[in-house]
Amino acid sequence: MKILVTGGAGYIGSHTVVELAAAGYEPIIVDDFRNSERWVLNGLREITGKDIKIYEIDCSSEALGDVFRQEKDIAGAIHFAAYKAVGESAAKPLDYYENNVLSTVRLLRCLIQYQAPLFVFSSSATVYGQPDVLPVTEETPLKRAESVYGRTKQICEDVVLDTLKSGVNLKPILLRYFNPIGAHPSAKIGELPRGVPNNLVPFVTQTAAGIREVLTVFGNDYPTPDGSAIRDYIHVVDLAKAHVSALGYLKKGGRQLVFNIGTGHGNSVLEVVRTFEEVNGVKVNYRIGARRPGDIEKIWADCSLAEREMGWRAELSLADALRDAWGWQQSLKRD
Ligand code: NAD
Ligand code: WQD
């Protein structure tokens, strides 16, 4: 079964391509490499033993229709392609609205026109803001997003919901990812931040590797046990598998629209640093700094709905993810 994977050369997309191929799907990537590298395809070939087909086009452009026309029997799509940097989204709001929202509209039109109804959308825990009650369930009310990026995800969720309500043939799922970290255990694919990483774990691995001098822990005065902020960090391989489960669920006629995809556990920034040091036997030079504007204090997911409905749950630990993140970082150093 052919599944289009927009953004399939990116961090989460590439890991999902691996899991789709392992589950017997035929993933077809649409990616113009605006935030990824062509050599990711070599890693995919080495892991899967297959040449994954790729269309190098902008998926918010009309060229997307050509892919559906050429491939003919596409069953659906997983839509990863988007811009994702919270800070940058404030500086470039129109880029974010244009890419994130228009690509979703374009893809939905194609799915409807070419009768490819399966649709898995990459949403984010960022749509919840700082929730009043933890853990967050899919019923937790959304707050106005803190960032332009977060707003694009809220808008796209509404676009999907409204399209569904219009009665067209669409079988959608919105996956709200918590904090994806780690890499494939083979160290052949992983996260490739450009420039200074925004996210915690790539900053940790680059500091341990000596690329960055010091990690700043953003705040130790939060009302949490050790004062640093808490997130639900999920291994990217577990996250990738959630997409396979989502497709299986849709094929069986599952009708639940929204799922939290996390581990169900929160870990603080300092716990991440300590676990990384313990599991890898390396030191991370860090200092305590001010809170980062816009950060929330704590969040973690209730993922029981995904387990009940889709039979999916995270299997890998924080230590697994941090070990694999370090393996990936070291493989980059060797190149
Ligand atoms: P990524 O930047 O590594 O991957 C996105 C891929 O999409 C890249 O390969 C990029 O080249 C491609 N792309 C972007 N716009 C495109 C376009 N118009 N046409 C063709 N290709 C395009 O990002 P990621 O971390 O893999 O994130 C994937 C999705 O998951 C995004 O929608 C993101 O918002 C969402 N998400 C990510 C996180 C996270 O922390 N990484 C958390 C929650 C949600
Ligand atoms: C995690 C924790 C930081 C860097 C973001 C997006 C979210 C989602 C995932 C896409 C926080 C702390 C970080 C550093 C630090 N992306 N930190 N020093 O902010 O939870 O979520 O990425 O959807 O939408 O907002 O992830 O990895 O940036 O930060 O202390 O150098 O690490 O303050 O507590 P975040 P993160």
Report the residue among 154, 284, 295 best suited for mutation to probe ligand 2: largest number of ligand atoms under 8 A from its CB: 295
Question: 100 is written with which tokens?
Answer: 């994130």
What is the pLDDT at residue 166? Answer: 98
Question: 51 is written with which tokens?
Answer: 């040449």
Ligand showing the shortest atom-to-Cα distance for residue 232: 2
Pocket lining: 177 vs ligand 1, CB cutoff 6 Å: yes
- Chain segment 159-210, per-residue pLDDT in tens: 999 999 999 999 999 999 999 999 999 999 999 999 999 999 999 999 999 9
What is the pLDDT at residue 330? Answer: 97
Share of the chain above pLDDT 90, in %: 98
What is the pLDDT at residue 334? Answer: 52
pLDDT at 156 over 80: yes
**260 φ/ψ angles, rounded to the nearest 5 degrees:** -80, 135
Question: 178 is written with which tokens?
Answer: 């918590």
229 CA to centre of ligand 2 in angstroms:
9
**Residue 301 DSSP symbol:** B
81 CA to centre of ligand 1 in angstroms:
4
On average, the pLDDT of the chain sits at 97
Is 149 a known active-site residue? yes
Listed residue (135, 37, 36, 40) closest to 84, CA to CA: 36
Give the global pTM: 0.98
pLDDT at 30 over 90: yes
Pocket lining: 215 vs ligand 2, CB cutoff 6 Å: yes
pLDDT at 335 over 70: no
174 CA to centre of ligand 1 in angstroms:
15
- Chain segment 109-150, per-residue pLDDT in tens: 999 999 999 999 999 999 999 899 999 999 999 998 989 999
- Chain segment 222-249, per-residue pLDDT in tens: 999 999 999 999 999 999 999 999 999 9
